[in-house]
């Protein structure tokens, strides 16, 4: 189960089970949403992975593992860049465990995304197939 929104939607937690893992990206501050997700994950026995810049010591007793994502000392990069990189590495590691399933899922995701939000200026709602321009008149 994966959620990429900043705010957690309650219905997204309904399917959480013991065999699942929750990945939380929490750079600098503890929020109510983090508490709710951690409490619920603990209640169902799910594992928890925290990706954070500064909350590791605060939440280490409530999560399975803490993955540090330190911010740039110069401040020249976006705040979430290190969290994004750590998350990407984590996903690559998970995908490597079952390459066929990961490839199939990735392809299905690409197809669904292209059907939901077709690319190109000539694409309008409800159009299907490749965007083409007619040159015959």
pTM exceeding the 0.85 threshold for the entire prediction: no
pLDDT tens, residue by residue, 29-68: 888 999 999 999 999 999 999 999 889 999 999 999 999 9
Cβ atoms of 65 and 91 closer than 8 Å: no
CA 127 to chain centre: 29
The 8-class DSSP code of residue 9 comes to P
47-52 and 65-68: which strand pairing? parallel
User: Where does the pLDDT of residue 120 fall: very low under 50, low under 70, confident under 90, or very high at 90 and above?
Assistant: low
The 8-class DSSP code of residue 73 comes to S
Which residues partner with 21 through β-bridges? 47
**In the Cβ-directed half-sphere of 52, how many Cα atoms lie within 13 Å?**
21
pLDDT tens, residue by residue, 11-31: 888 999 999 999 998 877 888
Mean pLDDT value of segment 122-128: 51
């Amino acid at each position: 189960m994966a959620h990429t929104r900043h705010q957690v939607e309650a219905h997204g937690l309904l399917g959480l089970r013991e065999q699942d893992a929750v990945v939380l990206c929490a750079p600098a501050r503890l929020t109510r949403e983090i508490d709710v997700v951690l409490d619920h994950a603990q209640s169902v026995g799910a594992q928890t992975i925290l990706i954070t810049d500064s909350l590791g010591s605060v939440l280490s007793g409530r999560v399975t593992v803490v993955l540090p994502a330190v911010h740039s000392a110069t401040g020249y990069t976006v705040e979430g860049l290190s969290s994004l990189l750590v998350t990407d590495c984590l996903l690559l590691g998970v995908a490597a465990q079952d390459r066929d399933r990961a490839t199939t899922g990735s392809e299905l995701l690409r197809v669904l995304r292209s059907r939901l939000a077709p690319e190109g200026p000539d694409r309008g709602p409800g159009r299907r197939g490749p965007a083409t321009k007619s040159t015959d008149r």
